[in-house]
Structure 1
Amino acid sequence: MKKLINDPEDVVVEALRGMAAAHPDHLRVDLEKKVIYRKDAPVRGKVGLVSGGGSGHEPMHGGFVGLGMLDAACAGEVFTSPVPDQMMAATTAVDGGAGVLHIVKNYTGDVMNFEMAAEMADADSGIQVRTVVTNDDVAVKDSLYTAGRRGVGVTVLLEKIVGAAAEQGRPLEEIADLATKVNESGRSMGLALTSCTVPSAGKPTFELGDDEFELGIGIHGEPGRERRPMASARELAQQLVEPILEDLPRKDGQPVLAFVNGMGGTPLIEQYLMFNEVQTILAKADIQVARSLVGNYITSLEMAGLSVTLLTLDDDLIGLWDAPVNTPGLRWGA
């Protein structure tokens, strides 16, 4: 194993220390509790947005803390959920008097720990907390880490859209309803060409032959639908997009946001090539791509592979997507 680390046990804290040093104008970091905050949190009168999960998926979630997205992100160990005390601390620290929304990917540990934190925040501080659980992965219904579908690419889009709504001063209930709408309007599916190596494990999570790929892989390296023979980019795009379209809630004429996400080890030239294949498929189906996103936004360490997410749009969602955002991992208009 070759990794740019010191001690595998110190990877998360040292990375958080690096984030604090790299973005002092935007972030502050609690190294003891492993929570990243936007520097001006809490923002009085604004709904606070808190997310988090295991490390190793950067820039999600810490890279999306800042204006127009999250107020705080809780960092667990690599591929391991944060604990309720972290989530409780984050919830308390970002409450500006308008309540807090927890954005939780559908992984058993995340769901359980965020639920405990919400109960603690209500009991100890009277903070009003609402929760949305993302579950957009169409690959499998249940996996090693979940009961039901996994939360993947829609999580990033939801954090951006809901973050813009919070900046506008919308109330908690409206923002929670919006988050639910975004989750229900998006679908995702991914594939892996290689495994990744968790620093503490020191060996690949799984093995893939040179002539095969894993369809429907999870972001922790958990199995997908099946292993298939390697194919062209055009064929791979078809195998990702078809199951998404079969399940995507969409009326005739509604445009979509198309998101091609790298898993950490796939170069941008291949991601853009795949985006071209995705938009070609959508054009043949008479589906307009009104907005797009291409890049590494929810990764799995150094895994080679990618995911495709489609989100059905309306005028409100387009306006919120276009609104200014200024975070380490996503920035425009600000």
Structure 2
Amino acid sequence: MKKIINSPDKIVEDMLQGFVKANKRILRFSRHTTKVIVKKEIEDKVGVVIGGGSGHEPLFMGYVGEGLADAVVVGNIFAAPTPNAILTAIKEVDRGKGVICIFGNYSGDVLNFEMGKDLAAMEGIDVTNIVVKDDVASASKNEKKSRRGIAGDLYMIKILGAASQIGKSIEECFDIAKQVDRSLVSIGVGLSPGTNPVNGEPGFYLEDGEMEFGLGIHGESGIEQRPITTSNEISKTLVELLISEMRGSMAKEIAICVNGLGSTTLMELYIIANDVQEEFDVSGYNVSDILVGNFCTTQEMGGFSISAILLNEELKTLFNMKAISSHFYKGV
């Protein structure tokens, strides 16, 4: 796979330099490390830090902005940020009201953010870690704590960013995070792998005419490999799986995200979005909002994921609040 880079050793640094230069009106580097990017103006509120490995852009750095995160801490390619960088991000956004950290459920991220939290506690900063675990293909409902985080991160960031913006306390933000966790489900389908830009290695292998059903954000294996079929048929199967997870809730209003994994065209994603909404419609769900685009990618991976979140009145209000960043916009 061809990549336009300078040096493999400088991929992340070069990317971050270009990103901050392109958004210099609203963002800056931390004074201590270029692996932490911060809003230029941070309000007197609960701080919101997000982060994870590089290679999944615009996740995470694209979601620092108004009504979203206050800072992002960036790891190397497909690698967790370091505990010291996480501590730096926490200290950059701390205004004495505590800090929430949002990240996906991967062992390196969990370990390092816990260490960052412990380091912050030693400096008197109250930190709550929020682990996103929305991928229904990675573990059963009874083992939800083992599920991976995929594109559902976007909903957690959006809703908690709004909660922080309107002055919710750290305890209230955590309670809202638990609501999101109970209400959020995702599943993905891979058609072709993304390649690691450092070593050129693909994330997985597929035969012609096959798709990876239920894969993870790095290309981790899913439920099984299946023959590629139509958007209608794939959407029907995925939506049925998501509905089986949501069954039992009284809520029937949902927001959905059709997320491209890197190389799937917008033409395809809008076809999928149409089919996905129709499947939810016939199942009695009211789809009040659809996000379509590349929100959580793995380089040039082909395929898509679907996320759905059940909306009660509080979550709906927070989700619909204004938010602006380099790669996300939500109007009022």
Structure 1 partner of 2:7: 7
Superposition CA RMSD, Å: 1.6
* Alpha-carbon offset, residue 333 of structure 1: 3.0
Question: Structure 1 residue runs of 4+, over 6 Å off?
Answer: none
Tell whether the 8 Å contact from 1:162 to 1:175 is kept in structure 2 after alignment: yes
* Alpha-carbon offset, residue 102 of structure 1: 1.0
Counting only pairs closer than 5 Å after superposition, residues 266-285 of structure 1 correspond to structure 2 as: 266-285=264-283
Indicate how the Cα distance of structure 1 residues 29 and 250 shifts in structure 2: closer, same or farther if over 3 A, else same. farther
* Alpha-carbon offset, residue 175 of structure 1: 0.6
Bigger shift: residues 80-89 or 244-253 = 244-253
Bigger shift: residues 104-113 or 237-246 = 237-246
* Alpha-carbon offset, residue 203 of structure 1: 2.9
> Could you tell me how far apart the structure 2 residues matched to 1:266 and 1:250 are?
33
Tell whether the 8 Å contact from 1:16 to 1:29 is kept in structure 2 after alignment: no
Structure 1 partner of 2:33: 32
Indicate how the Cα distance of structure 1 residues 283 and 24 shifts in structure 2: closer, same or farther if over 3 A, else same. same
* Alpha-carbon offset, residue 183 of structure 1: 1.6
* Length-normalised TM-score, structure 2: 0.95
**Count of aligned pairs between the two proteins:** 328
SS in 1 for 2:29: strand
> Could you tell me how far apart the structure 1 residues matched to 2:20 and 2:131 are?
28
Structure 1 partner of 2:202: 204
Structure 2 residue runs of 5 or longer lacking an equivalent are: none
Tell whether the 8 Å contact from 2:162 to 2:318 is kept in structure 1 after alignment: yes
* Alpha-carbon offset, residue 315 of structure 1: 1.5
Tell whether the 8 Å contact from 2:251 to 2:311 is kept in structure 1 after alignment: no
SS in 1 for 2:137: coil
* Alpha-carbon offset, residue 33 of structure 1: 4.3
Cα deviation, 1:184-228, whole Å, max 9, x if unaligned, reads 111000010000110112132222122100000111011111000
> Could you tell me how far apart the structure 2 residues matched to 1:27 and 1:167 are?
17
* Alpha-carbon offset, residue 249 of structure 1: 5.4
* Alpha-carbon offset, residue 252 of structure 1: 4.2
Tell whether the 8 Å contact from 1:154 to 1:183 is kept in structure 2 after alignment: no
> Could you tell me how far apart the structure 2 residues matched to 1:305 and 1:314 are?
30
* Alpha-carbon offset, residue 254 of structure 1: 2.1
Bigger shift: residues 26-35 or 105-114 = 26-35
Counting only pairs closer than 5 Å after superposition, residues 314-329 of structure 1 correspond to structure 2 as: 314-329=312-327
* Length-normalised TM-score, structure 1: 0.95
> Could you tell me how far apart the structure 2 residues matched to 1:206 and 1:130 are?
34
SS in 1 for 2:101: strand
> Could you tell me how far apart the structure 2 residues matched to 1:130 and 1:247 are?
27
> Could you tell me how far apart the structure 1 residues matched to 2:3 and 2:10 are?
13
Structure 1 partner of 2:96: 97
Structure 1 residue runs of 5 or longer lacking an equivalent are: none
Structure 1 partner of 2:130: 132
Partner letter of residue 112 of structure 1?
A: L
Bigger shift: residues 228-237 or 250-259 = 250-259
* Alpha-carbon offset, residue 39 of structure 1: 1.3
SS in 2 for 1:140: coil
Identity %: 39
SS in 1 for 2:202: coil
Indicate how the Cα distance of structure 1 residues 253 and 203 shifts in structure 2: closer, same or farther if over 3 A, else same. closer
Partner letter of residue 256 of structure 1?
A: I
* Alpha-carbon offset, residue 250 of structure 1: 5.2
SS in 2 for 1:193: strand
Tell whether the 8 Å contact from 1:193 to 1:213 is kept in structure 2 after alignment: yes
* Alpha-carbon offset, residue 332 of structure 1: 3.1
> Could you tell me how far apart the structure 2 residues matched to 1:253 and 1:300 are?
32
